[in-house]
Chains A and B, each alone.
Chain A
Amino acid sequence: DVAEQLTPVLLDSAREEGLQLVSELKDPWAPCVDVSAVWWGAGGRRELCLVTASESALSLWGPLPPHCWGKLYTWHLQEVPVIQIVPLPDTCNLVCVALGELEIGEIRLLIYSSETDSFKHSLLKTGNIKAVVGLKDWRLVSSSRTMQEQQVEMVSLSESGGSKDRQTLMPPEETVTAFAEVEGMREALVGTTAGNSVVVWNLKTGQLLRKMHIGYSYPASICHRAYSDSGLLFVVLSHPHGKESECCGSPAFGVLAFNPRTGRSAAAASSGLPPGQPGRQGDVWDTAGAAVLTSGAVAVWDLLRGRCTALLPPGPAGHWALAR
């Protein structure tokens, strides 16, 4: 009910129940630029596998008993460097990847067909792509920009890896920097803009429903996830340029409650970095957030309570650089 300013304190239980290193995937020839989890399988059986990306290749790893991982397949992508893996929820035998030099220039799908036991590439989109997100039900939304205009588009994917349908979404004036699906609302999508606003779309009609300013406390916020509850829209944001303050520490994630009817907002929860441990790179899944600290540790938060629940210190082999 009340927006709390929670101090960044690591729960005592997190020290005891913190993250443990359970396995290592070693790929000495290729420094990792991204990692993601994917469902993979055949004949009705599927298991959670991992994909690691280097600039020129993607590797699929599967669990091997008892506690290790083996490389199942490698795709070589030598023409354009890999920038990121784009997770597509609820898909199987499919990896979506964004490629480019400094910015994303193309989005490709890599698909395995168990019927023909073969892999194939499919080019989904090209352009000067600023942001991309994979949504449930085989949908992908991206924003791209030319000198004159911005294009925001949703592509519905077919199981063979092609595009089944394309829906143009009305672009805001400002560049869209990130998208996030709204939990439990299939046709709603939120985005953040370069002008530090949250925008809301209707994915079915392509309408831009609302633009709501975030405020000046945390410039250039990035949205990760949104939930609609009791007539309010709760948006999980990270603050890549947030500054450390004495009272609140360094902000990692915040949950803002917006009233989409009026455009007004209030802070609902804030997750701060442990004192004296700056850091930024982060990711969100459901109501948990993770970030890499500059010290080389990984911190995990319960975003709705604004509490740091686990901390993984740097490993013997070095500092963590990326958390997914």
Chain B
Amino acid sequence: CSESDLGPISLNWFEELSAEAPP
């Protein structure tokens, strides 16, 4: 799966989404 198909990839997606999601 290339980055162009899936968009920018982040290794820290879990921490980042946890910081952004409503509590």
Interface residues of A (CB under 8 A from B): 1, 3, 170, 185, 187-188, 200, 202, 205, 207-210, 228, 230-233, 257-262, 264-266, 268
Contact = CB atoms under 8 A, between A and B. Distances in A.
The 3 closest A-B pairs by CB, nearest first: A262-B7, A231-B9, A259-B6
Contact of A265 (B6, B11, B21): B6
Nearest to A200: B17
5 contacts: A170-B22, A202-B18, A207-B18, A231-B11, A266-B5
Interface residues of B, number: 17
Interface string B1-23: 11001111111011011100111
Given A1-B1, A205-B23, A264 B7 contact: yes
A261 B5 contact: no
Contacts of B6: 232, 257-259, 262, 264-266
A207 B20 CA distance: 10
Contacts of B23: 205, 207
Interface of B: 1-2, 5-11, 13-14, 16-18, 21-23
A257 to B, nearest CB: 5
A262 B3 CA distance: 11
Contacts of B1: 1, 3, 232, 257, 266, 268
Contacts of B18: 202, 205, 207, 209
Contacts of B13: 231, 233, 259-261
Contacts of B5: 264, 266
Given A232-B6, A257-B6, A208 B21 contact: yes
A33 B17 CA distance: 40
A232 B5 CA distance: 12
Contacts of A185: 14
B4 to A, nearest CB: 10
A56 B6 CA distance: 49
A202 B21 contact: yes
Contact of A228 (B2, B14, B22): B14
A262 B2 CA distance: 13
A266 B1 CA distance: 7
A228 B13 CA distance: 10
Nearest to B20: A209
Contacts of B9: 230-232, 259, 261
A192 B13 CA distance: 19
A3 B5 CA distance: 11
A231 B22 contact: no
Given A202-B21, A264-B7, A268-B1, 7 more contacts: A187-B14, A205-B23, A208-B21, A231-B9, A232-B6, A259-B7, A261-B7
Among B2, B8, B18, the most chain A Cβ lie within 10 Å of the Cβ of: B18
